Structure formats: structure tokens, C-alpha cells
Structure 1
Amino acid sequence: MSTPTHIRNFCIIAHIDHGKSTLADRMLQGTGVMHERNAREQTLDNMDLERERGITIKASAVSVEHEYKGETYELNFIDTPGHVDFHYEVSRALAACEGAVLVVDATQGVEAQTVANLYKAVDANLELIPVINKIDLPSAQPEERAMQVEEVLGLDAADCIMTSAKTGVGVAELLDAICARFPEPQGNPDAPLQALIFDAIYDDYRGVVVYFRMMNGRMKKGDRILMMGAQRTYQVTELGKFRPEMTPTTEAFEAGDVGYMVAAIKTLEDVNIGDTITLDTARCDEPLPGYEEPAPMVYCDFYPSGDTQFDELRDAIARLHVNDASYTYEPTNSEALGSGFRCGFLGMLHMDIIQERLEREGNVSIVQTAPTVTYEIKIVGKGGDTEVIQITNPAELPDMSKVKDIREPIVAAEIITPTSSIGDIMKLCEQRRGVYKSQKFLADDRQILEYDLPLAEIIYDFFDKLKSITSGYGTMDYHVTGFNSDNLVKMDVLVNGNPVEALSLIVHRSKAEFRGRHLLKRLKEQIDRHLFEIPLQAAIGGKIIARETIKSVGKNVTAKCYGGDVSRKRKLLEKQKKGKERMKKVGSVDIPQEAFMSVLDTGE
């Protein structure tokens, strides 16, 4: 094992699509770990989903060796996601490092997530190396972007390293700078063992495989360890490094090392991301600080469908939770859909990725309800006492006679946009009930807009609209600042006279009628015609505010009548009418999966 003075633990952070995964590939080639003949793009993006979408979803670790000034350094680096929905993965990676490589695209410059990740790295007291990537492109402006890094981020432009991950230019200089500029890990090898769990995966044959970073002490194969959070002990059966595949080693791990551990852990609940590992025989006094708990922003329900059973869905969700602790889940029940799980996510992309990973990795079939956000409800009790409760589903809203106030989550959004799109972006924010805060100049052609926006107004299509208005150049980062009271009401949707809770939503009263009409039009398109007429209604309390009707499937019952008295035809039509009335009372309406998602379309 390398001595702590020759170990460098760092991560790569950037805005989405600024080339950090490609840069990581070049660094692997530059250190000889990956040869060109067996190279593949996005080496650290192990999931098919990451390759298909061209994004990093999970933080991935790898250990490589690099020669610098005649000495061998061990570089442990973690490739992190760039999308705002995966900021929890970034915070976990930062806690396991001493330095961060901040990648900025030479063509696009500083983006919203670049700024957000920089603040996280500064808060974690990390040393930073700014990198200007994609300098080989014809539209690259490396010098201007370096000055932008100095003006906006406060990092010296002279410290920027110019690279092209595509051609490999500047990668050797970056590896040298990492050895020279990043600090060595702090930690005492002779102190009691303290190792931070920063990730884990479930293996059918080996149980839970734990990814950890050594903070203090030593650990070797055969040691009896204690998971401090779960208070469970295990015996280490395998220790190893990522090179970049899992490679077992017989050497002891010391403070500063990063690797993985197998200890025949079969109980998923025993491994908590952010937990501390210590020796059972020589325990440390207190656990490491770990991570702040992720706060889910978006909620929806997952129900088993097709051949999938509830138990299979529960096992798939529990296994995936070991690998991604940033989503929450709890059992729920619906009259229409049966038993399922209420899940909380960090954003819409996160929700989409979890659903797809469950279906692919867990081999389950899912029905998903429309996403909602958390609301705070102030209710008045019998004695006049007030109480504040939180709900994640409009169906949980108490009787409106007891509700004094409904508060919705508000986010502070930072939008970086070309100057030419400022007017349209402001119009979009005002349509979504945004409150203007400030406007700053980033460069001649780019500005930063700051708005306070209701989270419910931006979770669905706001980001798509932003990209459309700015021709793909606009970016956004946001964080929840608190809850605000407003004139909010619950809108119920009645299908064939029966309220469907999965379609109900909480809306601003001024938008209720517009949203109601638009929603019913969408439902009319989604729900198939039945043998009987189906009325669709939107209601606030007992007041109907919008209505659409799905016409019945027509059948020509008079086809067999040719000639003769017209009263025979009337008699048959009357009989058909009575039959349809009876069917309307007892007939059930099949609502497809797409109908539940139509709640999200605001029509704006």
C-alpha cells in the first residue's frame, strides 16, 4: 500500500455534459490502467442506462498509479454526476476526498451546476483545480473561459489547466498537478479504525459489497468489524481496490486508502450510506459525521402490474435502496391499484431513473402515479389548537373545514441564460408564479437570473421549456428554501361520478379552472371509449368547475329492421338507451397508465 504522503483522493465535478466522464477515461489511459485496444467510452459509467442517456447517474471510484518526479503516487478518484437531481451523489463523493477537479466546457463556460458544485466543494474544505475542457473544438474560447472562472468562481485564471479529453491534450499536466497541488490524506494509522461508507451494491452471491474510505486506523482481511449505525458485527472475507474492476488484495488498508469490502452481509438494512466502520475489539469513541439526510422533493406511488407481485416489488426496491440511498419508500394502499409503495425522489429525472432501474435490474413491472410535492397543512383542532402536518399526496388532505392554511415548498432558482432569451425566461417564470429576486451579468452574452418559484410549478416541464426558449444554452440550479402560504385548493377529478384519488391535485385557485379544463381534455384523449357514456368532471369541494364527456361506442341496433313501421326502430333504440343507463351505473372505467401522468401537463 502507498504511504499517506503518496496518496491523493479527489473527485471530478462539473455541469452535465461538460466532458468529465471522457476526461476520466483519458486519465485511466494516461496511467496505463486501461489500454486503447480494450478501451470503451464512459468506462466509469457501468450502467447501460448511463451509456444510453450519456449521463453519469452513480458516483464511481477507481484507483490508479502515476509517476511524478520519480515517485509513484496512488490516485483514488471518483467520477460524479452533473445533473441537479443527483447532487446527493456529489456530496457523498466530496466527503471522501481532499481535492476536486472542476471541469468547465471551453465552448459553454460556467453553468448553473458548476457554481452549485463549487460551493459544495468549498464547504467541504477541498482544494480545487480548475480545468478548461474541449479546447480542440472550433468554437472553444479557453482564455475567455479561464477569465470567467476567475471572475465568477474566484479561482485564479492562471491555475486553469487546458485540456481536450477527446484528443488527450493536457491530461498528463493534469495528473502532475493532482500530485503536486492536492493535499495528502489526514489520518492516523495507529488510531482506532474509522472508515466511511460512501456507497454499496448488492451482489446475489457475495451479499452487500461496501465501498469505503479509510479515515483512521488499519483494516485487513479476517478482521471482525462493527457497523456503528446498525450495531452489527461481521468478519471481513475480502478487501480490494478498483483498478477499475474490483481487484482483491491481501495487504492491509490504512488511513487514506479507498476500496471495497465483502463480509457476507445478507441483511440490506445493516448497511447505511454514511455509516462508520470500526473494529469490534478496538472500537472508536464516536462515528464520523457522515452525510446530511437527503430531503426528497418529488413523491409518487409505485404499484406492481402485470405478472409482478407485491413481494417482488418490495425486494427490488430494497436492493436498489442499498445502491441509491437518496430515495425513500414506505408501503401505501390504493382502492384502485392495491398495495404499493410511496417513494420520495430528489427530482423528476431521479424518479425516471429509479423507475427504469427497478424495471431493468429488479425485473419488475410497475404502474406509476403522477408525481407530487410535499405540502404543509395547518389544521385547527377541537380546542382551537393549531397543528402543522406534512402531506405528500393530495388524497391525504384533511377535511377542508379543519384546514386553516396550505403551504407549498418554494425554491430559490438560479438560471444562467443567454442575454437574448432574458425576456422569454422572465415571462415563463411569471407564468409559474415566480418572484423576481435579482439579475447579474456573467459575461457580455450571458446573465444570471434569480427567482423564487413554487416547486410544484417547475418539477414537470419547466426545465424542458427553459431549454427550448434558450436553444439548449440555458441552465438552472435550485434548492428548497422553505414553505409559503398561498391561495391553494384541492381539485378532485371524477370519472363516471366517482372521485379518482390518484388524479386529484393541489392547485392555485386562480389557475384551477384552466388546469381543470386542460386536464379533462387530456383524460378524454387517454381513456378509451366504453359501451356507455363517461362523464369527466373537475370539482373543488362540491362545486363542478369543468366537464368533458367521452361518448359511448355506437352500435347500430336497427340494422336488422328493413322497412316496416318506424315505431319498431324507436322501440329498439329506447331499449338500447335503458341498457346503457344501467351499464353506466354498474360498469367500471379502465384508466390507462398515461392518464395518471396527464395530471402533470399544465397546458401553459
Structure 2
Amino acid sequence: MDPKSIRNFCIIAHIDHGKSTLADRFLERAGFILKNKGDQVLDQMDIEKERGITIKAHPIRLTYTGRDGSPVVFNLIDTPGHVDFTYEVSRSIAACEGAVLVVDATQGVEAQTVANTYLALNHNLTIITAVNKIDLPNADVDETKREIEEIIGLDASDASLVSAKTGLGVDELLRVIEDKVPSPSGDADAPLKCLVFDSHFDTYKGVVVHIRVFEGTIEKGDRIQFMATGTEFDVVEVGYFELTPVVTDALTVGDVGYFAAVIRVPAEVHIGDTVTSAARPTAEPVPGYRPVLPMVFAGLYPIDANDYEGLKSSLQRLQLNDASLTFEPESSGALGFGFRCGFSGLLHLEVITERLRREYNQDIIVTVPNVRYRVIKRNTGEEVLADSPSKFPPLGEIERIEEPFVKAEIVVPHEAIGDVMELTNKRRGIYINMSYPESRRAVLEYELPLSEIITDFFDRLKSITKGYGTLDYVLAGYRKERLAKVDVLVNGTPVDALSFIAHEDEVQHIARSMLQRLRKYVPRQMYEVALQAAIGGKIVARENIVQLRKDVLAKCYGGDVTRKRKLLEKQKEGKKKMKQIGKVSIPQEAFLSILKRESDD
């Protein structure tokens, strides 16, 4: 394919602004799906369809008839809109020359609209603006254009007006893409230079590597090399993406496709690496991606200890398809051997755990999510980065604890401002500014502890704003806070997997709430079980699980009362002995209950 007839572009937008629906209309025009029969076709995972969101970026090749009657190839990548999957967007942008920025005419410019636009501008992409949902009664096209110009700084006078639902304006938008997105540049005869922007594992082919070719040509039988590791492989298949992969003879300059080389070890492939020819390597690699910085950490443990290796293999394969997932081995006295995993956010954590259960049949326990704290030791001044309470030094060695803060931008309807401000105040938010991009909505800027928003903050925000509130945040550094590590003891034995970090002013409330929930799930024993929360040696909360009791007086139909007392004393001594040697098993539901905060905060 002549590179001059290729257009590589992605669709970027805030969540729910219509990216996947617009992609359906593009597929419709290319003849891949029947009109009005496609429903977010590129969202292929069950979890994407159930939640109605895009989680993975999806590449596809579409062929149209150009203005001059010759075929034009569009390599389209549909991207996610949620803040937790920004890394997917950045990878897609690096493989393109243009981006279609979709803005909802009923919602206007929102947090991720701005963030994704700046990502595209930083990569020098050509931005094509499309105002979507113009068919809705409450659409305000003029106001939306004004916001695009004032908030983002793009000229919106010639923005394409479309309805992704009905197909109105889609044909005109395709012509704009053909005219404005530059064709790829590069030399097909130069040494091979490809960017690895994604990958997945196939049972028969091994690791299938998704690439964008910048220089040279790759075909079956070539000996290729990964520049980051120096490992070499023989290519056994190359192809490109339609609704299903299509095998082809070769990929050349400007092509977006894949190759398979019987790579059996997932760790051999790194997202952002450069693939070149082993015989004639390129001099400079393609600029890769900045390293992923996990924001949320949680432990994943197999319920059956024998499934440890299976969980490790599943995480490696998932990491191929999601480079923002990080993991390392860890062990727990309560749960055995597992992995400490890093995630972009709580939604990312939920998606990964759900994929492990559905796609890899892993039966797992997820521990309480944490952020990474900075602990300064008292005498030495040594700095410890702890993403788990188990990694905290002893209480007497701690000089201070610093926790990560984020700068959050919350877009809310005007009538919900008071409730949202109350919510952020309860979560230790620091007010910065409030602005009105237009009369219907306000933008609240806050600094918030990351630990306060990784659990249910987003759900609470959506509930308060009736689904119209949006949240975007960036890490703003560490701050000294009065924090404490709280250990949870069951029958006097610490359960490391239930330990948590909390602000000193909220410790008792959170600990009591946790123990009350835990009490519902820990099974009753023949002796009384104490659930305690402790800071160092100080107990800050306690709940008791009432003992089961056998009626030892059932056979006593009268007689001297001392006989009854003797039986009760004997029972009492037996229960005391059982309590000393008894072990309490904590079910999985108990760990899951800890993830939930009280609905009234």
C-alpha cells in the first residue's frame, strides 16, 4: 500500500461522549457491519459491553473510496475515555498522525477532553474537532464551540457537526479526515523500525505483537530484534486488524498491524520497545513511552495456594495486554503467597480482577487497596516507600508519614455544588478554586489525599450529581499528615491482610465501622472471639462475636444447684482452653466487605 493513501488516526474524548458509537458508523461506511446493527463493535470484552465503557484501545483497518476514486486506508484506533486508562490513550496517540476530538454537544468540554487533547498536541498530532450528539433536544452547538475555543484553545469555527447515533455528518467527517490528517512519512527501503504499542497472548501463536511501522518492511521469515532486550526471533506471520486479524505478505511504512514469532515468554515483549531487523538494525529507536506510575496498590492472592503459579502466568499475560499493570511477589501470614499489584486507579483494579476471574478462571482474594506512602525514620532519616501497611517500620522508628495528594478537577452541575463540596470536605479536601465555564456547570478545583478517592469517591460523586459529575486528577506530590497504621487482631492474632492506614482524627470511626462489618462475616465459634483494632499496643476499637453455647444443663431435671454450677464451670474452662488453641478462619467475603465504606461516610 502506498503510504500516501494511508491515514492513521485515533478517536479521543471524555467518557460517554460517543467515541465507540462514532467508530461503529465508520465501520458501517466501510461495509463491516450492517446499518444500525452494530453496537460498539470494537468493545469486544464482556466487561466493556456490560459497563458500557471502552477499556482497551482497539485498532482496525478501514478501506474507503477517496475523493479521486482511488482506495484510501484508514487505520483507526478507538480509545478509552476514563482517567484510569489514560495510558491506553497515550500508546494509541504515538502510533498516529491525527486525532478526532469528539465533544458532546449536551455536556461540553470536560476533564478528559482537555487531558487527552494535550496528550495529542504533545505528540504533534493534527486535531480534527467533531461536535457529537447534535440531534438531541438539549444540544448547544454554539456554546460547545465556544468552550472548545476558550478552554482548549482550538479553532472550532469549522468543527464537524455529527450524530454518531444516527450517522448524520459522518460522511463529511470522513472527507475531513482524508483531507487534513497527513499521510505517513518514511522510507520503505530503510532499516526496519517499528513501535510496539500493544500485544496479546495467543495459545497457538505465543505473544502477538501490535506494531506501527515507521521505516522499512517486515514480512514472514524475517529475523527481527527487540532493541530493549536484544532478543531475536523469526517472524512466522504478519497481518493487520479488521474485525478479525487478516494475514498479509508484508507490512511497510505507515502500516498498523501485528506479527507473531512464537514468543512463548511474555516478559520478552515490552510496550514502547522498538522492533528492528537483526541483520540490518536501525541506528535510533522510536521514542517510547514514559514509565507507568501506579497510583493504587492491592494484594492479589489465590484462594487455593496451589494456584500461585497459575495466577503468576495469568498476570504476565494480562500485563502483555495492559502495560499499566505492575506486580511483584509478596506473602501474607493470613493469605499465604500472592502478588502486590499496582493499578492506575480503582476502576483499573476492578477491571483487572474481573478479567482474571472471567478470562483466566482465577479464584482470588483482593486485599484492601492502598496508596504508596513515604515514611521517614526517626534517627537515621531514611526514607521508606511503603505501598502496604506490612512494609511500615515499627511505630517507635517513625519520625513522620507523608501521603500522596492529587490536584482534582471536578465538573458538576450548578445545583450539586453544595453537596459535592460537603463530600470533598469529608474526604479532607483543600479548596483551591471554582469557575463557571458556562451557566449550567461549575469546575471545582481541590487538593485531595489520594487515599480518600481510591475507594468509593467517584461512585459517591456520580450519585450526588445524578450521573453528571466528572473527575480528573493528577499527582501533586507528598505532604506530611497525621497518619497511623492500624492493625486488626482476630482472637488476639494480627491479620496483616486487614491492616490499614488512616488519619488520626478518623481512626476510631473507621476502625469501629470495619470491625462491625467484619463481625457479620467471621463465623461464630464455641468460644467468644474478640475483634480488635490497635495502633501499636493501644486498642482503639473492639467488637465481640458471641460464642455458640451447648446447653449442658439439658439433662438436669432438678437436684442440688451445685451440680448445675459444676457443669457450667466445667464448660467455662473448656471454652477458655479452646480459645487459647482455636484458630479462626476468615472467609473471602470478609475481605471484600472491607473495601466498602459506610454509605453515609
Distance (Å, rounded) in 2 between the aligned partners of 1:126 and 1:308:
49
Residue aligning to 2:291: 293
CA distances 1:499-531 after superposition (whole Å, capped 9, x unpaired): 111111111111112212211111122222222
Residue aligning to 2:126: 127
Distance (Å, rounded) in 2 between the aligned partners of 1:277 and 1:307:
38
Matches within 5 A, 1:232-381: 232-250=231-249, 252-306=250-304, 309-380=307-378
Aligned residue identity for 1:441: Y
Residue aligning to 1:193: 192
Distance (Å, rounded) in 2 between the aligned partners of 1:515 and 1:233:
54
Matched residue of 2:63: which SS? strand
Task: State TM-score, norm by structure 2.
Answer: 0.97
Q: Is it true that 1:4 corresponds to 2:11 in the alignment?
A: no
Deviates more, 1:368-377 or 1:418-427: 418-427
Residue aligning to 2:227: 228
Deviates more, 1:123-132 or 1:58-67: 123-132
Aligned with residue 449 of structure 1, among 433, 439, 444: 444
Aligned with residue 496 of structure 2, among 498, 501, 506: 501
Residue aligning to 2:136: 137
Residues 339, 451 of structure 1: CA spacing in aligned structure 2 closer, same or farther, 3 A cutoff?
A: same
1:306: how far off?
4.1
Distance (Å, rounded) in 2 between the aligned partners of 1:294 and 1:594:
31
Residue pair 2:239, 2:251 contacting (<8 A) in 1 also? no
Matches within 5 A, 1:555-566: 555-566=550-561
Residue pair 2:192, 2:216 contacting (<8 A) in 1 also? yes
1:308: how far off?
5.4
Aligned with residue 42 of structure 2, among 34, 44, 68: 44
1:432: how far off?
1.0
Matched residue of 1:559: which SS? coil
Distance (Å, rounded) in 2 between the aligned partners of 1:324 and 1:539:
38
CA distances 1:269-306 after superposition (whole Å, capped 9, x unpaired): 11111110001111111221111111111111111114
Aligned with residue 466 of structure 1, among 461, 482, 485: 461
Matched residue of 1:117: which SS? helix
Deviates more, 1:548-557 or 1:476-485: 548-557
CA distances 1:557-580 after superposition (whole Å, capped 9, x unpaired): 212222333333222222221111
Residue aligning to 2:58: 60
Residue pair 2:130, 2:161 contacting (<8 A) in 1 also? yes
Residue pair 1:66, 1:175 contacting (<8 A) in 2 also? no
Residue pair 2:99, 2:120 contacting (<8 A) in 1 also? yes
Residue pair 1:307, 1:365 contacting (<8 A) in 2 also? no
Distance (Å, rounded) in 2 between the aligned partners of 1:114 and 1:493:
43
1:536: how far off?
1.2
Matched residue of 1:93: which SS? helix
1:393: how far off?
0.5
Distance (Å, rounded) in 1 between the aligned partners of 2:563 and 2:396:
55
Deviates more, 1:327-336 or 1:590-599: 590-599
Matched residue of 1:423: which SS? helix
1:491: how far off?
1.1
1:36: how far off?
4.2
Residue aligning to 1:90: 89
Residue pair 1:129, 1:159 contacting (<8 A) in 2 also? no
Matched residue of 1:159: which SS? coil
Residue pair 2:305, 2:336 contacting (<8 A) in 1 also? no
Residue aligning to 2:416: 421
Distance (Å, rounded) in 1 between the aligned partners of 2:18 and 2:77:
14
1:600: how far off?
3.8
Matches within 5 A, 1:145-184: 145-184=144-183
Matched residue of 1:427: which SS? helix
Distance (Å, rounded) in 2 between the aligned partners of 1:327 and 1:203:
19
Distance (Å, rounded) in 1 between the aligned partners of 2:215 and 2:171:
31
Aligned residue identity for 2:549: G
Matches within 5 A, 1:102-117: 102-117=101-116
Residue aligning to 1:397: 392
Aligned residue identity for 2:162: T
Residue pair 2:365, 2:591 contacting (<8 A) in 1 also? no
Aligned residue identity for 1:370: V
CA distances 1:457-499 after superposition (whole Å, capped 9, x unpaired): 1100111111111111110001112111111111111111111
Distance (Å, rounded) in 1 between the aligned partners of 2:593 and 2:489:
15
Residue pair 2:409, 2:473 contacting (<8 A) in 1 also? yes
1:244: how far off?
2.5
CA RMSD of aligned residues (A): 1.6
Q: Is it true that 1:492 corresponds to 2:487 in the alignment?
A: yes
Q: How many pairs does the alignment contain? A: 598
Distance (Å, rounded) in 1 between the aligned partners of 2:288 and 2:188:
20
1:414: how far off?
0.6
Residue pair 1:8, 1:182 contacting (<8 A) in 2 also? yes
Distance (Å, rounded) in 2 between the aligned partners of 1:102 and 1:562:
85
Distance (Å, rounded) in 2 between the aligned partners of 1:385 and 1:587:
41
Residue aligning to 2:524: 529
Which ranges of structure 1 fall in alignment gaps of 5 or more residues? none
Residue aligning to 1:482: 477
Identity of matched residues, %: 52
Distance (Å, rounded) in 2 between the aligned partners of 1:206 and 1:145:
47
Distance (Å, rounded) in 1 between the aligned partners of 2:298 and 2:597:
18
Task: State TM-score, norm by structure 1.
Answer: 0.96
Residue pair 2:223, 2:232 contacting (<8 A) in 1 also? yes
CA distances 1:321-352 after superposition (whole Å, capped 9, x unpaired): 11111111111111111111111111111111
Matched residue of 1:510: which SS? coil
Deviates more, 1:209-218 or 1:586-595: 586-595
1:142: how far off?
2.7
